[in-house]
Chains A and B, each alone.
Chain A
Amino acid sequence: MNTGTIVDLRLPELSENGGETVITAWHVTQNGYVVKDQDLLEVATDKATFDVPSPCAGVLIKILKKEGEEVRAGEIIARIKVDRS
């Protein structure tokens, strides 16, 4: 991944059946530094919670979906600027 590249963080496909998914907690704040595989946020379906990890190291430059909002698989929920170092 090139440094300075902007990466879209998308909600992974949690289930073939789809269904409602809600963001229950962000573990990091906008403009915060994140490392690869760090848990960024928690989402919940009817019976499950799921921690979404960061795909790369960098700065979380934009949170597009806030706590309490519904999201769908594949939807962009944040943007990360890939680390230069």
Chain B
Amino acid sequence: MEVLDLGVALYEDVLEEQKGLLRNRIEGGIPDTLILVEHFPVVTLGRLAKESSIIDRDYFMENKIPVVKTARGGKVTYHAPGQLVLYPVMDLIGKRRDVGSYIDFLEKTVSNALNLLAVPAARKGKRRGVWVRDEKIAFIGIAVKRWVTFHGVAVNINNDIGPFSRMHPCGETDIRVTSAKECLGREIDMAEAKKIFAEQFIRDLEAEYGNKYEHWNYSGSEIAGTF
């Protein structure tokens, strides 16, 4: 298992990084890899997103926040520094060929990690994502090729959640969005958050799929923080 910390990076650069890892993972040349990253501000539209889900397009134009169409599942969301994004590039063949249970797993591990940060996050019945009571804190959109996953889950830690009010996040018109910072009334150290999420991810992966990761590497990348 590799954990790759890409720092703060452009959405498009990280997508290219993911595609490279995806090809290598399909060919069996690399182990399962978890990317941790924060993106520069960007709005992304998943495959089933409607342009009308962006309510205030002028706001994003005036603030030079690009809108990017992407091949992940899900609808519209927003990324910015202070939000922790997890992109697992993982082979499900050696685990369980079930996309639904993989999404369940992502929700569980994000909830568990947020709980360790003292955020009372949980899953919410059949509604996807991770929630703090009735407020959404984490957003899922994945893609699977040859049963290898890419894209993933974005978790609001310290980021400004204001821009979410200018869209219908995940295409849902009835939700309010929150962050760990808003829940706790203080900022969270991102390096500490990354460590907690990575370690919890590996623990939950072992528990969910029975894989054993006795050794795992944590490293940065040449594209991290270069923009």
Contact = CB atoms under 8 A, between A and B. Distances in A.
A48 B152 CA distance: 9
B107 to A, nearest CB: 10
Given A49-B143, A53-B146, A16 B100 contact: yes
Contact of A47 (B71, B97, B128): B128
B138 to A, nearest CB: 12
Interface residues of B, number: 21
A44 B100 contact: no
Contacts of A44: 47-48, 73
The 9 closest A-B pairs by CB, nearest first: A15-B100, A48-B73, A17-B100, A49-B143, A47-B73, A14-B99, A44-B47, A51-B145, A49-B73
Interface residues of A, number: 20
A45 B82 CA distance: 29
Contacts of B98: 14-16
Interface of A: 13-17, 19, 22, 24, 37, 39, 42, 44-51, 53
Given A48-B141, A49-B73, 8 more contacts: A14-B99, A14-B100, A15-B98, A15-B99, A39-B145, A42-B71, A49-B144, A50-B145
Contacts of A39: 145
Contacts of A53: 146
Contacts of A47: 73-74, 103, 128, 140-142
B145 A48 contact: no
Interface centre among B98, B100, B142, B143 (most CB of A within 10 A): B100
B72 interface: yes
Given A16-B100, A16-B101, A46 B128 contact: yes
